[in-house]
Amino acid sequence: MRIFVGEYISGGGQWKNPDPALLPEGQMMAAQLVDDLTALDGVQVLLAHDPSLTIPRPGLALWSDPDWSDAVAQCDAAWIVAPESDGILLRLTRMVEDSGRVLLGCRSDAVAIAASKIATAQVLAEAGIPVIPTPARCGEIPASATGWVAKPDDGAGSCNMLATTDLTRLQAWMAQGGRPHSHVVQPLLAGDAASVIFLAKDGQASVLSINSQEMRLGEECRYAGGVIGRYEIWRPILTPLVDAVAAVLPGLWGPVGLDVLLTETGPVIVEINPRLTTLWSGLHQALGRNTAEMVLGLAAGQALPVCRPHREVRVELS
C-alpha cells in the first residue's frame, strides 16, 4: 500500500514560505506519522515536502509541488493534515474523496462543520452536548463577567487570538482587520484546558488518551504543548461526551482531537479538530502501540481499538 502523507505547512501548502508559528507543530506531526507508517510491512510513503526545508529523512520518497492532486492519484490512500482556516482542510479532503483513493481521515461533511466554531457549537448544543457559550454570528460580543476570548471562527492553533478582561481593548481589537466578519468571541471561563484524542468510525468512537494542554492566554495567545494521559482520571466522564460527538457527526473518521475545558461544574467542549493534533506526535510512546497501524486497521474493516496510555508523555513546543 502506497500512502500519500500531506502535512500542509511543511509539505508545500505555503510554497517556500511556511508559517513559522505553525511549522514546528506540522513537522512534528509529519515526522511521527512517517515513522509509524514506514515501520509497517508493505507500506510505502510519499511525503509532501516544501523544498525550502531540509529533507526530513534520507531515502524517503518526496513530493515537492504545491499541487497534490497528481501525488494522490499515484497512491492507494492519502492522509491529510491541514489547518481548517480558509477552507484548506475541507478543500484537500474533497480532493481525496473526488480522486477515489482511500481517505485516511474525517469525511468532508464532518470537516465542514468542525471547521467552524459557530457551526460546531450549534450542532452540539442542539444535541444536548455541553459546549462553551458561542454567539451565532462572528463579531458579536456576549455578556461576560470574567472576560473574553476572540479567535477566528475557522482558525487552527492559537494564531490571531486575544484573551482579555478589558471590554474596551476587546472592542478595539475586534474592529481591526476584518475581524467582525471572521472572529467569534466566547466568554473566558475558568478551568483546565484539556484535549481528548480519539478514533472515530461510523458514528462510534474509542478514546485513546485524555491530555492536558498548556495554553498561554493574553495579548498574544500561544499553545505550548501538553502532557498525554495527564487527565485520564476524567475518562469515565468524558467518554460519554466523545461517544455523543461521534454519534452527532458520523462523518468523523480516524484521528480526532476534542478540545475541552474542565470546569468546576463539569466539562464543556471548546472545539473539534477533525485531523491529527500536535499531541499525536507523542501518542505512540504513551500507548506503546503504533497509532498509524490502528488507523489503517479501521480502513481494513477492523473494529475500533480499546487502549489507554501506560505512561504520561510530555509534548513541548519551543
Same domain membership, residue 311 and residue 225: yes
Same domain membership, residue 225 and residue 125: yes
Same domain membership, residue 24 and residue 170: no
- Chain segment 181-199, per-residue pLDDT in tens: 999 999 999 999 999 999 9
Same domain membership, residue 298 and residue 179: no
Range of the domain at 171: 148-187
- As a whole number, mean pLDDT of residues 197-220 equals 94
Same domain membership, residue 203 and residue 92: no
pTM: 0.96
Q: Are 165 and 197 in contact (CB under 8 A)?
A: no
Same domain membership, residue 195 and residue 179: no
- As a whole number, mean pLDDT of residues 58-64 equals 95
Decide if 68 is inside a domain.
yes
Decide if 138 is inside a domain.
no
Task: Please give the tally of structural domains in the chain.
Answer: 3
pLDDT given for residue 318 in this prediction: 67
Reported confidence tier of residue 125, pLDDT bands at 50, 70, 90: very high
Decide if 216 is inside a domain.
yes
Same domain membership, residue 248 and residue 125: yes
- As a whole number, mean pLDDT of residues 258-271 equals 97
Which residues make Cβ contacts (< 8 Å) with residue 269, sequence separation at least 6? 120, 124, 129, 130, 131, 132, 241, 245, 258, 259, 260
Same domain membership, residue 292 and residue 215: yes
The two counts, helices (H) then strands (E), for the chain are 10, 14
Same domain membership, residue 155 and residue 84: no
Q: Is the predicted pLDDT of residue 158 greater than 90, yes or no?
A: no
Mean pLDDT of the chain: 96
Same domain membership, residue 165 and residue 121: no
Reported confidence tier of residue 310, pLDDT bands at 50, 70, 90: very high
**Chosen domain end from 104, 139, 170:** 104
> Tell me, what DSSP letter sits at residue 177?
T
Decide if 143 is inside a domain.
no
Q: Is the predicted pLDDT of residue 156 greater than 80, yes or no?
A: no
Burial code of 241-263, b = ≥16 C-beta within 10 A, e = fewer? Answer: bbbbbbbbbebbbbbbbbbbbbe
- As a whole number, mean pLDDT of residues 222-246 equals 96
| Cα–Cα distance, 44 to 49 (Å, whole number) | 16
- As a whole number, mean pLDDT of residues 216-227 equals 88
